[in-house]
Structure 1
Amino acid sequence: MTTIDHAAPQIAQRRILATAIPGPKSAALHAEKLAAVASGVGTTLPVYVVASGGGVVVDVDGNSLIDFGSGIAVTTVGNSAPAVVDAVTEQVRAFTHTCFMVTPYESYVQVASALNRITPGDHEKRSALFNSGAEAVENAVKIARAHTGRQAVVAFDHAYHGRTNLTMALTAKSAPYKSGFGPFASEVYRAPMSYPFRDGDLDGPTAARHAISVIEKQVGAENLAAVLIEPIQGEGGFIVPAPGFLPALADWCRANGVVFIADEIQSGFARTGHMFACEHEGVVPDLILTAKGIAGGLPLSAVTGRAAIMDAPRAGGLGGTYGGNPLACAAALAVLDTIESENLIERARHMGEIMLDRLRTLSTTDTRIGEVRGRGAMIAVELVEPGSTTPDSALAQRIAGYAHAQGLIVLTCGTYGNVLRFLPPLSMPDHLLHEGLDILEQAFRDN
C-alpha cells in the first residue's frame, strides 16, 4: 500500500517529545485561553499547534504528536493536502466572499453537482450548502417537513447531531451537550438503536422491528416527517448497527412516505472504506448530510437528496450568508479530487485492517476491552470492567491521558464515556499508525 505524504517538506513524519506534554509554551498559552475564552469551550489536549501535516501535529514547544483524531474526522486528506492548499490559495487571490444568494459563483454549483454524483443512488438529486454539521441537520429537518407536511422527527438512542437548539433535542446524551440548555425543540422522538455489543443476540431486522414498533406506537407514521440516523454513530460510541437494521428502517420509511435521512457528517468521504458508510449495506437515503471531511478543515456542510424532496422549500427558505463560501467550495473540490486521485477509499480500508488486527489481538489478552468495532479508518474500542459489559469510563480516561503524555492524540466518546475512538488522517504513513498502536498497547499494559 502506497503511503500518502501530505506533510510540508519541513515536517518530519515522526513523533518527537521535546518537552513534557503539554510543554511550557503551550501551558502559557493555555493560561491565556482560560482568561480569554468562555469556559464552555473545552479542550481535549492543551497543546497549541504551529504546523501539521501527514500524520503529525507540531506544537509551539517543538513536540510532534501522532494524530489519531483528525480534528474529529475533519482532516481526512491531511491538514495540509497540497491540492487543498493550492486551491484555497488561488481562490483567496480571486475573492473571498460574495454570498451565493446575492451574486453566485461556479464553485458552489460544482460542489453541488459533485455531491449529486457521488452520493448513493442514481435518482435525480439536488444539494444545498451550509457551514456546519448542525446546520445541515436543521435544514434537512426543514426540508423533510416542507415536503411531507408533517412535524414529527425520530432520532435514536446514543445519537449526536449537534449543539443548536433543535440538534440538542435530537442528540441523546445530556451532559455536556444538553444539560441546563433547555427547553428544546418539540416534536422530536427517540427510538432504540441497534447496539450489538449490548443487544445480546438481537439481529438487525429484529432490532429494526422493535424500533419501528416504538415509532408506530409513540409517534405514528402519519405524523412523521423524517427518521434521522447516523449509519455509524459518532459521539455515541462508533456504534455499527447489526446488519439489516438500516435497510429495514429505510424500507419502512419508503413504504410510509417518511423521509429517511442519513447523517454522514462524521462517517462520510472515504472515512469508512466507502465514500459513505450507508454504502456498506447498499442503503440509499432520501437525504444525506455531510460536513467534517468535506473540505479539509474549512467550514462547509451539505444536504443532498431526492430532487422532489429538496425542492419542497420555496426560494429563500434555504441558505445563509456564509453557506457555500467560495474558499470552502474550492477546498471541497480539491478534497474530492484527492480522494479519487490517491485512492483514499482503499487507503482507509488498509488502515482499518491494521487497526482492527492489532486491537483485536490486544483484546484477546485484556478482558477490559469489551469490543473492537468500526469500519475503515473509523475504529473504536469499548472499555468495560473485566469480563463484563459494565462501562469503565475511568479506564478510558486513563488510557487517553497516558497516550496524550506519550505524544499520541486520541479521543474518547460514547454515552457512558468508555469508548476510545481512532480517526487517523488517511495521509498518515503506516509507520506512524503502527507506532500509535504500540503506544496504545503500552497504555493498556501500564494501566
Structure 2
Amino acid sequence: MSSTTEKAIASAEAHSAHNYHPLPVVVATAEGAWMTDIEGRRYLDMLAGYSALNFGHGNRRLVDAAKAQLERVTLTSRAFHHDRFAEFCEQLAAFCGMEMVLPMNTGAEAVETAVKTARKWGYRVKGVPDGTAKIIVAADNFHGRTTTIVSFSTDPEARADYGPYTPGFEIVPYGDLGALREAMTDNTVAVLLEPIQGEAGVLVPPPGYLAGVRELTRERNVLFVADEIQSGLGRTGRTFACEHEGVVPDMYVLGKALGGGVVPVSAVVSSAAVLGVHRPGEHGSTFGGNPLACAVALEVLAMLRTGEYQQRAAELGEHLHQELGLLVGGGAVEAVRGRGLWAGVDVTPSKGTGREVSERLMQRGVLVKDTHGSTIRIAPPLVISKEDLDWGLDQLREVLGA
C-alpha cells in the first residue's frame, strides 16, 4: 500500500465515524465493471454497490439522463408538482403491475414507509384495534438500520446498544411456512420478507415458500410485503425475485438499482387500496421523488423494459453458479447459494475468514465483500462481460488454492 493510499485511509479513519470497515482501497474513477484507485490500479467490481450498480459504473444512458435534468431543475420538494413526477409514478406503477407509488430516497426509508403503510392499512381497512398491529418478519433479515428496523433484526451487530426497541414485530425462521402460519393472529397486518436474504449470505428460500406465503397471506387478509431492494430489478435473472415462483406480492419495496448508482431512489409500490390510506402531512420526504431522481429512475425503467439486463443476469448467472459449484467439495468451498448474478460463497474456514479472502482478492484486483464469518458475496454489475467474470473467478480459485 502506497503512502498516498495510507494517508487517504488514515484521514478517513480520523474524521469519519467507524460505522464501516472498508477494504483498504481508495477508488478514484470507475467505468462499467471496473474501478481504478488513486494509484491507477484497476479492480474488477464484483459487489456492484450491493446491487445499486446493476447497470455498471458511469452508465452512459443514466449519466446523460442525469446531466440533462441537472440543467433543468433538481429539487422542488413535494410542496409543488414537477414535470417528471407523474411520469415516474405512472411508469413505475405500471412496470410493477400496481397502481400507486410512494417515492422515498434510501432503502431503509422505503422499508419504514412500508411498515407505516401496513400498520395504517391494518387500522383503517382491516379493522385491527388501534395500537395492536403485528408485522411478521424472518430471522436473519436485513431491511436497514433505522431504530425501528433494528428492533426486528436478529443480527447482534445491527441491534446491540440501540434499545429500547420498537414493538409490534414477530420473528419466525426464514423459509418455515409452518412457523409463519402459527405466528399469524387476527392482528397480523403484514408479512415482510426478502425473497432472497442478501446480508445473511444470499439465502434462497425452499421451493414453494414464497408461493406458500402468498397463499397464506391471502387467506388471512394480510399484506405480503416483498423487500426487493437488493434482489429486484434484474439481479436474479428476472425483474423481481418473486417471479421465480410466479408470485406477485401486495407491496414491492424497491431501492438501490432504481437510482442506477447515480442518485438514491427508493419507492413503495402497491395498490390504491393500500397506498390510498395516506393523507397529506402523514408521511413524506423533502427529497423523495425529486426531479433528478425521477429522471434517472425513468431511464432505469426504460432499460429494464428491454429485458436485456434480466437475460444477461440469467445467462451469466447460470455460468457463475456452474463454475462456483465446481469448487464445492474440493476443500476450498463448503457451499454456494444464490440466483442469477448473485452468490453467497461459504469458504472453508481453514482458507481464512471472509474478510481475509476479500483482502487477498483485492490484492489480485478483485473486489468482493464478506459477511458472517467465512462467507463472501459475489454480485457483479449486470453489464460485466463473460471474460471479465471468468477472470474474477480465476482469481478466486488462486486465492483459495482450488
Query: Which residue type is aligned with residue 178 of structure 1?
Result: R
Residue 80 (structure 1) aligned with residue 49 (structure 2): no
| Alignment correspondent of 1:50 | 28
| Alignment correspondent of 1:62 | 40
Tell me, what secondary structure is at the counterpart of 2:151?
A: helix
Distance 2:13 2:310 in 1: 40
Per the TM alignment, residue 369 of structure 1 is displaced from its structure 2 partner at its CA by: 2.3
Residue 261 (structure 1) aligned with residue 219 (structure 2): no
Distance 1:27 1:108 in 2: 44
CA contact (8 A) 2:353 2:375 kept: no
Measured against aligned partners, the alpha-carbon deviations of 1:26-47 in whole angstroms (never above 9, x if no partner) come to 221111111211122x132132
Distance 1:108 1:409 in 2: 36
CA contact (8 A) 1:125 1:306 kept: yes
CA contact (8 A) 1:23 1:47 kept: no
- 169, 183, 198: which is aligned to 1:188? 169
Query: Which residue type is aligned with residue 128 of structure 1?
Result: L
| Alignment correspondent of 1:210 | 179
Per the TM alignment, residue 105 of structure 1 is displaced from its structure 2 partner at its CA by: 1.4
Distance 2:243 2:84 in 1: 27
Distance 1:281 1:230 in 2: 14
- 107, 123, 143: which is aligned to 1:161? 143
Residue 383 (structure 1) aligned with residue 347 (structure 2): yes
Equivalent positions of 1:298-377 (< 5 A) are: 298-341=263-306, 343-366=308-331, 368-377=332-341
Overall identity of the aligned pairs, in %: 33
CA contact (8 A) 1:270 1:348 kept: yes
Equivalent positions of 1:110-121 (< 5 A) are: 110-119=87-96
Per the TM alignment, residue 406 of structure 1 is displaced from its structure 2 partner at its CA by: 1.1
Residue 404 (structure 1) aligned with residue 355 (structure 2): no
RMSD (Å), alpha carbons: 1.7
Distance 2:289 2:307 in 1: 25
Distance 1:406 1:47 in 2: 12
Query: Which residue type is aligned with residue 348 of structure 1?
Result: A
Q: How many residues align?
A: 393
Query: Which residue type is aligned with residue 168 of structure 2?
Result: E
| Alignment correspondent of 1:36 | 15
Residue 104 (structure 1) aligned with residue 85 (structure 2): no
Instruction: Compare 59-68 and 339-348 and name the one that shifted more.
Output: 339-348
| Alignment correspondent of 1:294 | 258
Distance 2:179 2:231 in 1: 25
Tell me, what secondary structure is at the counterpart of 1:289?
A: strand
CA contact (8 A) 1:161 1:170 kept: no
CA contact (8 A) 1:24 1:61 kept: no
CA contact (8 A) 2:355 2:369 kept: no
Measured against aligned partners, the alpha-carbon deviations of 1:291-313 in whole angstroms (never above 9, x if no partner) come to 01111121110000121011112
Distance 1:43 1:98 in 2: 36
CA contact (8 A) 2:104 2:267 kept: yes
Q: Where in structure 1 are there 5+ consecutive unaligned residues? A: 1-21, 195-206, 387-391
| Alignment correspondent of 2:5 | 26
| Alignment correspondent of 1:240 | 204
CA contact (8 A) 1:208 1:246 kept: no
Measured against aligned partners, the alpha-carbon deviations of 1:305-359 in whole angstroms (never above 9, x if no partner) come to 1210111122222321011121121111112222334711101112201211111
| Alignment correspondent of 1:389 | none
Distance 2:212 2:306 in 1: 35
Residue 280 (structure 1) aligned with residue 244 (structure 2): yes
Q: Where in structure 2 are there 5+ consecutive unaligned residues? A: none
CA contact (8 A) 2:235 2:313 kept: yes
Per the TM alignment, residue 384 of structure 1 is displaced from its structure 2 partner at its CA by: 4.7
Measured against aligned partners, the alpha-carbon deviations of 1:99-133 in whole angstroms (never above 9, x if no partner) come to 1x2111132222222221222xx4x5211100111
Query: Which residue type is aligned with residue 294 of structure 1?
Result: L
Distance 2:11 2:193 in 1: 39
CA contact (8 A) 1:54 1:429 kept: no
Distance 1:244 1:340 in 2: 27
Distance 2:238 2:327 in 1: 26
Per the TM alignment, residue 55 of structure 1 is displaced from its structure 2 partner at its CA by: 1.1
Tell me, what secondary structure is at the counterpart of 1:102?
A: coil
CA contact (8 A) 2:69 2:292 kept: yes
Distance 1:28 1:67 in 2: 23
Q: Structure 1 residues 243 and 342 mapped into 2: Cα distance closer, same or farther (>3 Å)? A: closer
Tell me, what secondary structure is at the counterpart of 1:362?
A: coil
Tell me, what secondary structure is at the counterpart of 1:284?
A: coil
Q: Structure 1 residues 395 and 35 mapped into 2: Cα distance closer, same or farther (>3 Å)? A: closer
| Alignment correspondent of 1:18 | none
| Alignment correspondent of 1:12 | none
- 406, 427, 431: which is aligned to 2:383? 427
Residue 144 (structure 1) aligned with residue 118 (structure 2): yes
Q: TM-score, normalised by structure 2?
A: 0.94
Distance 1:46 1:395 in 2: 16
